[in-house]
Amino acid sequence: MEPNYDLNVGFDYVQALVQTSDGGFTFAGNTGGFLGKNVWIVKTDENGNITWSTVWETPGTAYFNDMIQTNDGGYIVTGATASFNDFFDSYMFLIKVDVNGNIQWNSTYNGLGYNYNLFATKTNNDYYALVGSTQITEDGANYDIWFTKTDAIGEIIPEFHSWLIAPLLLMVTVSATIFKKKLFSQSS
């Protein structure tokens, strides 16, 4: 059996293939034409018969980079976009697709300016670690590495917990008040 997957009009290409927990396969890449590409994800059974096909569309061009299967049988898909309107208008993206091919959510990240790619891995607590290439648009040709961790729905986890903000603010206010009192008491 040699199935042909010419499902979309345009240039279709695949960049990832995973064997799924149910014995089937899922592959992902891009589909589209010269003026724009979209992310394309296809799930098959163990014989190569298509179970579902999903396209994530963007106004510009989306470049697929990575796909991993999640514990719930769905997928995390990553990549970056570029717009023909403004070459430096780009963002990295993280898409969550459920076991039936429905897009559950997507998150976007700006990096430093022009964004080139994004890759993901699951962490022990079913959160995600992301790494991509990004470029400060004023910097010229140098790319930098962008790294972050997200929670289970793609929200960036801050470097410190938000519950620390109030105590830190209180500590700074008290310290400033004490310093101000000492400064005025020394000048009188």
pLDDT digits (tens, 9 = 90+) for 1-45: 455 555 555 678 888 999 998 899 999 998 887 667 889 999 999
Going by C-alpha positions, the residue among 101, 32, 98 that lies closest to residue 63 is 32
Quick one: which H or E segment has residue 27? strand 25-33
- Is 90 a residue whose pLDDT tops 50? yes
Quick one: which H or E segment has residue 39? strand 36-44
Query: From the centroid of its chain, how far is CA 64?
Result: 10
CA geometry: angle 178, 180, 182, nearest 5 deg: 70
Question: 179 falls in which pLDDT band (50, 70, 90)?
Answer: low
* Distance of alpha carbon 60 from alpha carbon 37, whole angstroms: 7
- Average pLDDT of the chain is 81
| Sign, Cα dihedral of 98, 81, 129, 162 | negative
* Distance of alpha carbon 86 from alpha carbon 104, whole angstroms: 28
pLDDT tens digit sequence for 42-66: 999 999 999 999 999 887 788 889 9
CATH number for region 13-157: 2.120.10.10
Close Cβ partners of 169 (under 8 Å, ≥ 6 residues apart): none
What is the pLDDT, as a whole number, of residue 7?
54
Parse the chain into domains and list their residue ranges. Answer: 13-157, 164-188
